Amino acid sequence: MGIGIDQAKMFGTKFKPHFNAVRLLKNPKTEVFTILGNNRERITAKAVVLGLGASPRRLEKPGVAELEGRGVSYGAPQYHTPAQWAGRKVGIIGGGNSAGQAGLFLASCEGCEVNVFVRGEGLEQDMSRYLVERFRKAKIKVHHHSNLVRVEGNDKMEEVIFTKAGVEEKFSLDYLLIQIGSQPPTGWLEEVVSLDDKGYIPSDLDLPADAWPTSEGRAPLRYETSLPGVFVGGDAHALTPNRMSCAVGEGHALGVSVYKYLELRHEREAQLKIVSVA
């Protein structure tokens, strides 16, 4: 990481630590962007790349926030060693692929009891078929129609309470892992670029039919959002798997589009100058 930063600085990149972007504006005449920070600092640019990442979706139920890090966690269990989970009673909330991978990993840890809580009837709806099949063979207890009500405990989590068909069920668990998807921090861009129903930013071929301005006279470039000159890559990009390699690859590839955009812009500016001189 340090080497990457040194290299970027060598090529003239300026880093702005503690800069939290809260607004993105485009001057319709000059086509120059202004990014406004929450410290009121303004940055101007001819093109913008959004690499905002995504964080786990939070579950707002009593006791969850209070006991986070003391039994409740949003992280993936695979980032810890199997020894940590050996002999533990673990609950996983969620029925998607992250929950599936977490469940299978835990089931492979010696003596770990795995309980998966889902709101619906089955796992098939949100989980890939290969994971569902492996789930059936693994020692995992799936609790259907289960909705979290609250988490109880003082210094650490002790009881987890769900409702099933209107009846409360209490579970004594060592850990509760919440795996209900992720969320990109794109609320501040709602009025600026097209977002999908989960807040992710689509680009070029994935843009909704009417999102791209026809006045632009060209198709969007690869990784270009609905606002010409604004590009997206990494976890915040719609349909991109949340993986380091994807973010790095897209970051590199979208650079080509940014260059192309700047070239087109330069050509347009030059033409306007010729017209005004003539």
Ligand X SMILES: Cc1cc2nc3c(=O)[nH]c(=O)nc-3n(C[C@H](O)[C@H](O)[C@H](O)COP(=O)(O)OP(=O)(O)OC[C@H]3O[C@@H](n4cnc5c(N)ncnc54)[C@H](O)[C@@H]3O)c2cc1C
If binding is defined by CB under 6 A, does position 266 make contact with ligand X?
Answer: no
Least CB distance from residue 41 to ligand X, whole Å? 11
Site string for ligand X, 223-252 (x = CB under 6 A): -----------xxx-----xxxx-x-----
Least CB distance from residue 247 to ligand X, whole Å? 3
Cβ partners under 8 Å of residue 264, min gap 6: 218
Least CB distance from residue 246 to ligand X, whole Å? 7
CA distance 246 to 108: 28
CA distance 96 to 181: 8
Least CB distance from residue 183 to ligand X, whole Å? 11
Least CB distance from residue 51 to ligand X, whole Å? 4
Applying CB under 6 A, the span of 24-32, 48-56, 59-67, 195-203 interacting with ligand X comes to 48-56
Least CB distance from residue 249 to ligand X, whole Å? 11
Q: Which is nearer to ligand X, 200 or 261 (CB)?
A: 200
CA distance 239 to 116: 26
If binding is defined by CB under 6 A, does position 185 make contact with ligand X?
Answer: yes
If binding is defined by CB under 6 A, does position 1 make contact with ligand X?
Answer: no
If binding is defined by CB under 6 A, does position 24 make contact with ligand X?
Answer: no
Question: 42-45 and 33-37: which strand pairing?
Answer: antiparallel
CA distance 198 to 185: 11
Least CB distance from residue 142 to ligand X, whole Å? 25
Least CB distance from residue 274 to ligand X, whole Å? 39
Q: Which is nearer to ligand X, 7 or 163 (CB)?
A: 7
If binding is defined by CB under 6 A, does position 15 make contact with ligand X?
Answer: no
For ligand X, which residue of 53, 62, 208, 213 counts as binding (CB under 6 A)?
53
Q: Which is nearer to ligand X, 103 or 184 (CB)?
A: 184
Q: Which is nearer to ligand X, 185 or 199 (CB)?
A: 185
If binding is defined by CB under 6 A, does position 154 make contact with ligand X?
Answer: no
Q: What is the CA radius of gyration of the chain?
A: 24
If binding is defined by CB under 6 A, does position 69 make contact with ligand X?
Answer: no
If binding is defined by CB under 6 A, does position 11 make contact with ligand X?
Answer: no
For ligand X, which residue of 29, 79, 129, 215 counts as binding (CB under 6 A)?
79
Phi, psi of 262 (to 5 degrees): -65, -35
Query: CA torsion, points 69, 73, 80, 138, in degrees to nearest 10?
Result: 140
CA distance 122 to 9: 51
Task: List residues near ligand X by CB under 6 A.
Answer: 19-21, 51-53, 75, 79, 185, 234-236, 242-245, 247
